[in-house]
A and B are shown apart, each in its own frame.
Chain A
Amino acid sequence: MIAAPRRRLSAEDWRNLRTALPFIAPWIVGFLAFTVYPIVYSLYLSFTHYSGFGDATPAGLDNFKHMAEDPLFWQSLGNTMYYTALAVPIGVVVAIALALMMNQNLREVAFYRAAFYLPSILPLFALTFIFIVLLNPGFGLVDYLLELIHIPAVNWLGDAHWTKISVVMLAQLGAGGPALIFLAALRAVPGELYEAARLEGAGALRRFWKITVPLITPVILFDLIYGTILGVQIFTPAFVLAGGTSGGGAYTTGPDNSLLFYVYYLYKNAFQYSDMGYASAMAWVLFIMSIVLSFAIMRWSRQWVHYEGA
């Protein structure tokens, strides 16, 4: 944001400020109480040993040192990056494909729009339950369909190679939401551009790459960043797929810990091992990571994002 030349606030400015304050006060209070304070407080906790009961005792850099040599931390980070690196680009492609389909000039297009959009507003935990049945190795539909086209059955939820792929597939059911944003962007593309390209003899595919894609790059950028932020906090499907608790209250994390995502491990540290200090340190690393990733994508986007008038 560019700093405006500093000027004194007029009496009217002050009056407007006073008028607006009661309206935005709930947001200010909520933001301070439920966002800013927790972030600051967890920074403090990350330098302590704290079980959630009694007092937090100073721990210096213990939690961060522990992190560096904790194999489960690295595995959870690796799982999360693997998932995000797959789910986000695939998600963008699926969303654009759905948007193109939603944009077809057909009488029954409203039906397709509803079909593509509806799964994205359903509770994720319920979709995950359905996936457990769909992917069941004994009686699941997906393995049966694979068998029909002579592809060997896959133990989706029992084989560490496939568990994360299952979550990536599950995530695509949510593509209808971003697809609607892409649809709006498609509709904002001026028709004359296509007309001109057509007159110059550009085919459908060429028009798509040369006109449609550049004009929707700002939405692609938003989708990449927001998708990445959602990707690094993936939790619910893993928690439900892995099965939750085993005997003794330990949370199961899938074959070979393949569903131990970052937030799941953070959750386990906080609420299963009562290691609030370590969990807070993990929370801060996640915070920094999401900022770094967002800015990295933003920077990279300068090379390909197209802004109107630029």
Chain B
Amino acid sequence: MAVAREPAEAPPALAVARAPVSRPERPLRIPDTLLVRIGLIIAAAIFILPFYWMANSALKTIQELSVFPPTFIPHSPAWRNFYDAVTYIPFGTFLLNSVIITTGVTIGAAISNPLIAYGFSRIRWPGREFVFGIVMASIFLPFPVLIVALFDIFAKLQWVGTFYPIIVPAFFGNPFFIFLMRQYFLGLPMEISEQARIDGANEFQVFLRVILPLAKPAVAVVIIFAAVQAWGEFLTPLIFLQDESTYPLSIGLQFYRQSHDVSYNLLMAASTLIVLPIVGLFLLFQRFFIQGVTAGSLKG
């Protein structure tokens, strides 16, 4: 779909099956792997180019940034730009707000989604599949349909201007994450629950002590995706926050660059600082997270 991703952009990664990399037969097998490699390298270069250009521009002086043709390596890296970016822009304030929002959303997602998904997978109740169909259908509801009414509701609750409208909904589940956790739970043998119930555990104890510990990889995936999503959230803070001191990096940077004429090299330095944690998270947890995703796609 590749359409620019707005809020609910979580886990299209769900389905990655980690099948063995070497398999005898493959579609579009071109005899000469060299040709394939060249194509892949060009394509990868296109996808990496924006990062490279961000870092490259972040390290240029404003004079060097405005020359044409542009230079591919800064003459002398202006590391000072990073210092200037975080001092000229109230970066610390925005960063703190981003961290608070991300932490709150992530905690909410980590608590609510396993709980809800458990109810949709480990207990068989009449109407379950139908209700789960509604959960899935809500994925296809464009969020902006709700913003006017939500604003008015949150305004009446006196929540506008606080982080509540952004964080609180995360405590009520997200259809993507419910789906992911449910897939994982369905893949665990029912006998485990039966045994625990025979041993006298009530359903909540079965969930908390038996099933949840087995589902750690899936919870990790939910946590990672929720954090990544909250970190880049744009529309909800734009609507529900009003004072610059409460802005996260997304909104803060956007408004600050207009009102204070932030130069492009500082903007790129700030962007680098925003992107780096996600790149780090991805590189660090890539394997762990693919494992969790794989387990989720085994069944169903």
Q: A60 near B: Cβ within 8 Å?
A: no
Task: Select which of A124, A144, A177 is within 8 A of B68 by beta carbon.
Answer: A144
Q: Are A276 and B152 in contact (CB under 8 A)?
A: yes
Q: B284 near A: Cβ within 8 Å?
A: no
Task: Select which of A13, A97, A139 is within 8 A of B67 by beta carbon.
Answer: A139
Q: Are B28 and A204 in contact (CB under 8 A)?
A: yes
Q: Are B13 and A180 in contact (CB under 8 A)?
A: yes
Q: How far is the CA of A169 from the CA of B5 in the complex (A)?
A: 13
Known: A26-B115, A227-B3. A173 touches B47 (CB 8 A): yes
A144-186: contact bitstring with B at CB < 8 Å (1 yes, 0 no)? Answer: 1001000000000000000000010011111111101101111
Q: A131 near B: Cβ within 8 Å?
A: yes
Q: Are B70 and A236 in contact (CB under 8 A)?
A: no
Q: Which residue of A lies closest to B120 (CB)?
A: A24
Q: Which of A108-161 contact B (CB under 8 A)?
A: 109, 111-112, 114-127, 129-134, 136, 138-141, 144, 147
Q: Are A139 and B125 in contact (CB under 8 A)?
A: no
Residues of A within 8 A of B15 (CB): 180-181, 183-185
A7-34: contact bitstring with B at CB < 8 Å (1 yes, 0 no)? Answer: 0010001001101111110110111011
How many positions in chain A have a CB within 8 Å of any CB in the partner chain? 135
Task: Select which of B25, B118, B282 is within 8 A of A114 by beta carbon.
Answer: B282
Q: Which residue of B lies closest to A191 (CB)?
A: B25
Q: Are B123 and A23 in contact (CB under 8 A)?
A: yes
Residues of A within 8 A of B231 (CB): 123
Q: How far is the CA of A123 from the CA of B21 in the complex (A)?
A: 30
Instruction: Looking at the assembled complex, report how far the CB atom of A234 sits from the nearest CB atom of chain B, in whole angstroms.
Output: 6
Q: Are A30 and B123 in contact (CB under 8 A)?
A: no
Q: Which of B73-81, B87-95, B252-260 contacts A (4 or more CB under 8 A)?
A: B252-260
Q: How far is the CA of A184 from the CA of B70 in the complex (A)?
A: 40
Q: Are B27 and A207 in contact (CB under 8 A)?
A: yes
Residues of B within 8 A of A141 (CB): 49, 53, 70
Instruction: Looking at the assembled complex, report how far the CB atom of B46 sits from the nearest CB atom of chain A, in whole angstroms.
Output: 9
Q: Are B23 and A88 in contact (CB under 8 A)?
A: no
Q: A188 near B: Cβ within 8 Å?
A: yes
**Which interface residue of A121, A180, A183, A194 has the most chain B CB atoms within 10 A?**
A121
Chain B interface helix/strand/loop/mixed = helix
Residues of B within 8 A of A230 (CB): 1, 3-6, 9
Q: How far is the CA of A283 from the CA of B151 in the complex (A)?
A: 13
Q: Are B149 and A38 in contact (CB under 8 A)?
A: yes
Known: A178-B1, A290-B142. A191 touches B44 (CB 8 A): no
Q: Are B126 and A34 in contact (CB under 8 A)?
A: no
* Known contacts A17-B125, A130-B51, then 15 further A-B pairs from the complex at CB < 8 Å, ordered by chain A residue: A16-B126, A30-B172, A39-B149, A105-B22, A116-B44, A130-B53, A133-B268, A139-B70, A177-B1, A183-B16, A208-B27, A226-B1, A230-B9, A267-B239, A283-B145
User: Hey, which bits of chain B sit against chain A, CB under 8 A?
Assistant: 1-6, 9, 12-17, 19, 21-30, 33, 36-37, 39-40, 43-44, 47-51, 53-54, 57, 65-70, 112, 115-116, 118-120, 123-126, 128, 130-131, 133-135, 138-153, 155, 169, 171-173, 178, 203-204, 207, 228, 231-232, 234-235, 238-239, 250, 253-255, 258, 264, 267-268, 271, 274-275, 278-279, 282-283, 286, 297
16 contacts between A and B (CB under 8 A): A24-B131, A30-B169, A34-B150, A34-B169, A88-B3, A95-B2, A105-B26, A118-B47, A120-B5, A139-B65, A140-B70, A144-B70, A194-B26, A279-B148, A290-B140, A290-B142
User: Hey, which bits of chain A sit against chain B, CB under 8 A?
Assistant: 1, 9, 13, 16-17, 19-24, 26-27, 29-31, 33-35, 37-39, 41-42, 45, 52, 84, 87-88, 90-92, 94-95, 97-98, 100-101, 103-106, 109, 111-112, 114-127, 129-134, 136, 138-141, 144, 147, 167, 170-178, 180-181, 183-189, 191, 194-195, 198, 204-205, 207-208, 211-212, 223-237, 239-240, 243-245, 263, 266-267, 270-271, 276, 279-280, 283-284, 286-287, 290, 294
